[in-house]
Amino acid sequence: MTDAVSSGGTPPEPHAPDLRASDADRERVVEVLRDAVAEGRLDMEEFEERLEATYKARTYGELAPITRDLPTAGVVAPAVSLVKEPVESGGWAERIVGGEGSSASAVAVMSGFQRKGRWTVPKRFNCFAFWGGGEIDLREAYFADREVEINCIAVMGGMSVIVPPGVEVVVRGVGIMGGFDQREEGVPGDPGAPRVIVTGFAFWGGVGVERKVTRAERQRLKEERRQEKLDRRATRRELPESHREVLDQHRELMRALRDERRERHEERRDLHRERHEERRELQRERRDARRQERGRRRDDEY
């Protein structure tokens, strides 16, 4: 196979995304990542994530997005201006990267598939499930275009499309004895955010669309609320200890306790919901296994 990666560490060329990558190709991408860490372009967490993705990559199309935002051999990094310029609000611009997607399709036949984490969604992603299911998580994904299409074919199976807040969703799927979730359709998107169109066909199955924040964002919001409470308590300790102020402190403390109890209740409810979903998934797998066994028996009888 022709080596499409230059000896200087240049990442794979976009004109051969489907060609299989060699160990040498992956090692050259690793060298680019090591240089980026040494220059301060990547922190260790990002380096570890990209390193893992590099060794998992099988084609040039999967290797290319890993170093797309890093300077390589023969490419001069742009000069950094010392004049403060206005920055574009939001982070959607950097997530619409163009080019080819890192994965164009997925198939689940009496099994399942997942597309999640930092992957690049192509302009059209096709997926098929027969007696199985799949999860397409776009919360940390990059997008090859400002408008992408997720085409889902579900036959006696189910799929789940998870989008982050701010993304516009359009559902155009058709269901026969099944359906497409329409709850997130019509919610306006953020300026510059991508548009996700969910199309396809469901027969004795369904396609769900959910809007969720990432676990890291949920933890960040929780820490912000906790810090606000600590700041309020610190402020209360600095106030003079008059009778009225003590009463105000007592009311604020009771309000904080109620908020904490409410948060604990919400956490328990979320945990219960997750466990319930796990049980439903286990029941679905068992039901699919029984269907598969009945199909085998019918085949043996014939």
pLDDT tens figures, 119-139: 899 999 999 999 888 999 998
Instruction: Count the Cβ atoms, other than its own, within 10 Å of residue 43.
Output: 10
- 168 forms beta bridges with 195
What pLDDT shows up at residue 73? 54
Q: Is the model's pLDDT at 44 over the cut of 80? A: no
What pLDDT shows up at residue 149? 93
The C-alpha atoms of residue 129 and residue 127 are separated, in whole angstroms, by 7
The C-alpha atoms of residue 286 and residue 235 are separated, in whole angstroms, by 56
Q: What are phi and psi of 301, to 5 degrees?
A: -65, -35
Hey, what are 52's tokens?
Answer: 């893992």
pLDDT tens figures, 173-195: 888 888 898 888 888 888 888 99
Residue 286: helix, strand or coil by DSSP? helix
Q: Is the pTM of this model over 0.75?
A: no
pLDDT band at 16 (very low <50, low <70, confident <90, very high): low
The C-alpha atoms of residue 4 and residue 13 are separated, in whole angstroms, by 6
Average pLDDT over residues 145-150: 92
The C-alpha atoms of residue 49 and residue 72 are separated, in whole angstroms, by 19
